């Protein structure tokens, strides 16, 4: 009964508290009001001339994307056809797109509670911040946890690392954020200025909550403590108004040489029937970020995996979480169970702690305005915790690349406390992995210890294999079809011997998309479910060139036979057509080398840890937090 009440309350909140990013697109005007262009020359003054020539005003660059500008129409007597013909015929315009709205939702709203009070029974702790005693995921109550305290005791607190929260803005002058606020890591895309202060209307506290998880000031006797409490924190206001590809591209490319980590706790609707992802500009921002950001080491994009579990949604249908450029993070409850909102997909890399049912503890953080909350929830809360942990690691070794970080997460995340949940598999190199939790719970101490000694991974190779079919394949009735793709060498150059990401780009038309199930099996026998059945998905169009992605084959040798299985698990009267299939493998020819000592440390990371949570209520009053010696441990 309690679970049903929880679900009903959450569903009601989704209907009444979705916020303006869910559908208020009045600022876009008509279909030709705004256009985004990429010009041959990246010159703002010349962009002014080009815009004026076509009846537009140049509103400025889109983030830091090279040559990309946003034009706003002022001559409303020009038809869409004429504008398109003009822009198509202008040799200075490489491409153009009319701006269209995108529906985006924040990944929280799970039984929010306004109470800032403290529980009747609390831990005895050493930080003076009053709510640190309720930060069970940091203060040692649940055993080893994510070993953030151990990272602090080693002297790491995120110093000199810059994190930006892409959300509905942040309260930069919040008493628990002001000392760490970084204006250079902040911008208001919605209103076009550099002050991301949220509208205080009750709907726009999400970004401030996420920011506090990362970098709430420690030892100031206010609220709680951030994971990386000395990191610089900024925010981008982008969800408090209409969202478009331009808005997303601007946010994702903001000051990529200054910002190290971007944390995003939003995405397409988690309703079990949506397929959606980044547009052209967002994709450009991701690619530019990982190839040029941080002086070529690559920006690190942390993404919440999604809250659509109650709708049996899959994060495989979210184009942000299936991007190879994002580090997708899931959630686990305080007692190491699967949260009811969790989405499954094989692109999830790791997990952190978050909320569970209404009677279970949630996440403590800053809130709007000038307040605190003990009830931040969902995968929205997991992504910023991961961003804070990554900040600790970058303080220890600022030379780590975006791919280095993913390698470290795969090697050091701890599956042990989560193994009682179903669905774990062992991949071809002996690593436990799950579509629920990735490779396990992030472990800050182990990430730092291995990260300090880590050698930059070898060059990434990309190998693409086309499934050849003379004609489209009919998909009629109750069927289970296997297609095979043989990998032998690499058509594009040097072969891959050690896999990182596996991407399967497919086009399928089907009369009821939600009845499709798609799996991929590697030559080593690792099977990943790329698309599960979705009860709510009644779409009759299928999908076109959708990039499914798996990290579950990480480290395997891809040589041999890959099998793609397509199955109709629903109505036997379904009809469809399988149009094309492209297997793209990402990885290296050489192994990411480790010394003997480092190999010993990595092997030690698979040893079981003790996670005691069964006595949560009875122990909560008397548990003591012990810090090791370290310059940042509170006194």
Which residues, listed in sequence order, are joined to residue 277 by a DSSP beta bridge? none
- The residue among 349, 404, 415 whose CA lies nearest residue 551 is 349
Task: Looking at the structure, tell me whether residues 535 and 433 fall in a common domain.
Answer: no
State yes or no: pLDDT of 622 exceeds 60: no
Q: Answer whether residue 23 is part of any domain.
A: no
Residue 137 lies in a domain: yes
In this prediction, residues 83-110 reach a mean pLDDT of 90
The verdict on 434 and 505 lying in the same domain is no
Judge whether residue 82 has pLDDT over 90: no
416/412 Cα distance (integer angstroms): 12
Q: Which amino acids are annotated catalytic?
A: 167, 206, 380
pLDDT band at 569 (very low <50, low <70, confident <90, very high): very high
Is 628 domain-assigned? no
Mean pLDDT, the chain, as a whole number? 89
Instruction: Report the CATH number at residue 476.
Output: 2.60.120.260
Is 631 within the bounds of a domain?
A: no
Domain hosting residue 290, numbered range: 105-457+606-619
Looking at the structure, do residues 577 and 558 belong to the same domain, yes or no?
yes
Q: What domain count does the chain have? A: 3
* Nearest CA among 553, 38, 26, 633 for reference residue 285: 38
Q: 483 and 447, same structural domain?
A: no
Assigned token pair, 519: 């799996």
Per DSSP, what are the bridge partners of residue 264?
A: 166, 303
Dihedral sign from CA coordinates of 503, 509, 512, 515: negative
pLDDT at 601 over 70: no
Question: Where does 421-464 have alpha helices with state H?
Answer: 444-453
**297 in a domain, yes or no?**
yes
pLDDT bin (cut points 50, 70, 90) of residue 630 is very low
The answer to whether residue 18 sits within a structural domain is no
Domain co-membership, 493 together with 568 = yes
Q: Classify residue 53 as exposed, middle or buried by CB count within 10 Å of its CB (0-12, 13-18, 19+).
A: exposed
CATH code, 67 = 3.30.70.80
pTM to 2 decimal places: 0.89
**Are residues 284 and 210 part of one domain?**
yes
Q: What is the pLDDT of residue 124?
A: 35
């Amino acid at each position: 009964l309690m679970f049903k009440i929880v679900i009903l309350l959450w569903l009601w909140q989704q209907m009444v508290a979705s916020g303006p990013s869910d559908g208020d697109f009045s600022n876009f005007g008509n279909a030709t009001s705004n256009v985004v262009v990429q010009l041959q020359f990246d010159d703002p003054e010349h962009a002014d001339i080009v815009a004026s020539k076509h009846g537009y005003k140049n509103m400025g660059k889109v983030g830091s994307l090279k040559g990309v500008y946003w034009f706003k129409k002022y001559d409303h007597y020009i038809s869409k056809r004429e504008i398109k013909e003009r822009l198509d015929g202008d040799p200075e315009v490489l491409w153009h797109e009319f701006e269209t709205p995108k529906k985006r939702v924040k990944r929280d709203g799970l039984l929010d509670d306004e109470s800032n009070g403290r529980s009747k029974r609390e831990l005895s702790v050493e930080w003076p911040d009053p709510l640190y005693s309720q930060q069970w995921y940091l203060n040692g109550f649940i055993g080893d946890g994510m070993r953030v305290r151990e990272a602090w005791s080693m002297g790491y607190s995120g110093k000199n690392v810059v994190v930006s929260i892409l959300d509905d803005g942040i309260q930069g002058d919040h008493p628990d954020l002001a000392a760490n606020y970084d204006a250079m890591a902040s911008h208001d895309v919605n209103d076009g200025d550099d002050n991301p202060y949220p509208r205080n209307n009750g709907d726009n506290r999400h970004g401030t909550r996420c920011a506090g998880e990362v970098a709430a000031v420690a030892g100031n006797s206010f609220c709680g403590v951030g994971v990386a409490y000395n990191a610089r924190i900024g925010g981008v206001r982008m969800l408090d108004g209409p969202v478009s590809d331009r808005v997303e591209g601007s946010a994702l490319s903001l000051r990529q040489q200054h910002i190290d980590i971007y944390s995003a706790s939003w995405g397409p609707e988690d309703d079990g029937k949506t397929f959606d992802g980044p547009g052209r500009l967002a994709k450009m921002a991701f690619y530019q970020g990982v190839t040029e950001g941080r002086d070529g080491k690559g920006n690190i994009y942390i993404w919440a995996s999604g809250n659509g579990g109650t709708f049996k949604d899959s994060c495989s249908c979210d184009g942000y979480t299936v991007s190879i450029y994002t580090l997708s993070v899931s959630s686990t409850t305080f007692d190491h169970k699967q949260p009811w909102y969790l989405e499954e997909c094989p692109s999830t890399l790791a997990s952190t702690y978050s909320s569970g049912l209404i009677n279970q503890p949630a996440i403590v953080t800053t809130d709007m305005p000038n307040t605190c909350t003990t009830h931040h929830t969902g995968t929205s809360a997991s992504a910023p915790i991961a961003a804070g942990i990554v900040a600790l690691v970058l303080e220890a070794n600022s030379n780590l690349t975006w791919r280095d970080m993913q390698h470290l997460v795969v090697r050091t995340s701890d599956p042990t406390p989560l193994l009682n949940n179903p669905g774990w598999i062992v991949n071809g190199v002996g690593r436990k992995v799950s579509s629920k939790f990735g490779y396990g719970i992030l472990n800050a101490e182990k990430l730092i210890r291995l990260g300090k000694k880590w050698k930059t991974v070898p060059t990434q190779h990309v190998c693409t294999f086309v499934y050849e079919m003379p004609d489209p394949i009919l998909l009629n009735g109750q069927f289970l079809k296997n297609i095979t793709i043989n990998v032998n060498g690499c058509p594009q150059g040097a072969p891959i011997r050690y896999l990182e990401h596996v991407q399967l780009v497919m086009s399928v038309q089907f009369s009821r998309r939600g009845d499709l199930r798609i799996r991929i099996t590697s030559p080593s026998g690792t099977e990943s479910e790329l698309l599960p059945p979705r009860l709510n998905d009644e779409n009759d169009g299928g999908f076109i060139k959708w990039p499914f992605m798996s990290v579950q084959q990480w480290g395997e040798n891809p040589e041999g036979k890959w099998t793609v299985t397509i199955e109709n698990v629903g109505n036997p009267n379904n009809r469809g057509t399988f149009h094309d299939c492209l297997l793209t493998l990402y990885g290296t020819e050489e192994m990411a080398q480790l010394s003997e000592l480092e190999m010993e440390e990595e092997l030690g990371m698979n040893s079981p840890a003790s996670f005691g949570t069964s006595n949560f209520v009875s122990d909560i009053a008397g548990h003591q937090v012990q810090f090791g010696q370290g310059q940042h441990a509170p006194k």
